[in-house]
Amino acid sequence: MTWKLISDIAFLLLLIGASGYVAWRCLRKSEEPLALMLKWMVTALLIFGTCCLLPKFPEPMWPVVVLFPAITIGILWAPSVGAAVASALTGGMDGGTQQVEPQPYYSIAEAKRRNSEYEEAVRLVREQLEKFPGDFPGAMLLASIQAENLRDLPGAQATLETWMQGPASTPTGCASALTALADWQLQIAQDPAAARAALERIIAKMPDTTLAHQAAQRVAHLPTVEHLAAMHAGVAKDLPPGEKFIGLRKSLTGPANAVNPDAVAEAYVRQLEEHPADTETREKLALLYAEHFQRLDLAVDQIEQLIQCPNESPRHIARWLNLLADLHIQHANDVPAAEAALKRIEEMFPGTGLAEGTHERLGALQRETKAGQKTQLKTLGQYEKNIGLKPSKTPL
């Protein structure tokens, strides 16, 4: 009896709690909570009164006694039940009663822009920004119209500066805005110095981040003023004749026969001394060391610097380790060194797709070795005259 009493009380408390939760949710969603509470009270009184009256009448009269309260409750709740049923049927078409968060709309402004109505597009975008200050897509749209269509680069820069100094600015948004500004400085103003300044602001504002690393890559490959002027002027440039029998070359990664490898290596070294974080040039130099100078040790040193580069993506690091394995196989036939390079991917990125792809390649490494050609390395002393081609080990 004690356990039965406890279970009954627990069930009653659970029922009360569930009913209270449902009632609270209904009140929150209701447009007229006071009217809803009044309906509940009237319904409860009718049910309670009917239950009290039923014992006073014989059982054959109970349907008649219940009829009046039932009709009253039906009339009382019919609008709510009908609205709930209709909402379930039409909610997919009109969105129902779900509250939609207000957001800016730029479709009309973009249509005006496509129709070359730029001033009207600017006006519409500014109207939306007044309602939603700090909206980054709107600020970027306004700046792009100013820069690309109205050729008002100072106005576009002022728009982006206002957003970056506002409370809604984010590091990613600032990097995107400054990158776009750098592109406009190159395309519209033909000013590499201004583009460099915009990219260097990313490096200064977000040091030791992936965004700063990407900006440094852009800085390392900015075109010169002369190159931009020639591009915009449409100056024709004579191209050297193509290499014959290119399909018979052992590798396509090295320079063609018409290019002086020593001069290319010196150019790469000068570029890396000025821009140590230039991963593209460092990778090219590593391939040049291995394929032309037959200096696998120097190539490995350059690739190791790439792998240790901070804020680099796992995909790039895995690609460089795969390249390191390729060089060990192709230029030294060193299977253990190639396996060690590939196993580093599994250790650095366990449980990822990069590790799974590496595991498959490890299983096929012996077949790669048999299919490859052995290349004898020249001794260190034979290329001491080229030691000046080594870049200084400046931290990336």
**How confident is the model over 150-201, as pLDDT tens digits?**
999 999 999 999 999 999 999 999 999 999 999 999 999 999 999 999 999 9
Q: Where are the domains of the chain?
A: 42-76, 105-162, 172-236, 261-389
Within 13 A of 56's CA, how many CA atoms are on the CB side?
A: 7
Q: d(Cα 89, Cα 96) in Å, to the nearest integer? A: 9
Residues 284-342 have pLDDT tens digits of 999 999 998 999 999 999 999 999 988 888 999 999 999 999 999 888 888 899 899 99
Provide φ and ψ at 149, rounded to 5°.
Answer: -105, -45
What tokens appear for 289 in the block?
A: 């060391």
Q: What is the pLDDT of residue 185?
A: 94
pLDDT of residue 256: 47
- Tell me which architecture the domain covering 261-389 has in CATH: Alpha Horseshoe (1.25)
Q: Greater confidence, 125 or 332?
A: 125
**Mean pLDDT in residue range 72-94:** 71
* pLDDT average, residue stretch 228-254: 57
Q: Beta-carbon neighbour count of residue 47 at 10 Å?
A: 13
CA distances, 89 to each of 77, 79, 247 (Å): 19, 15, 67
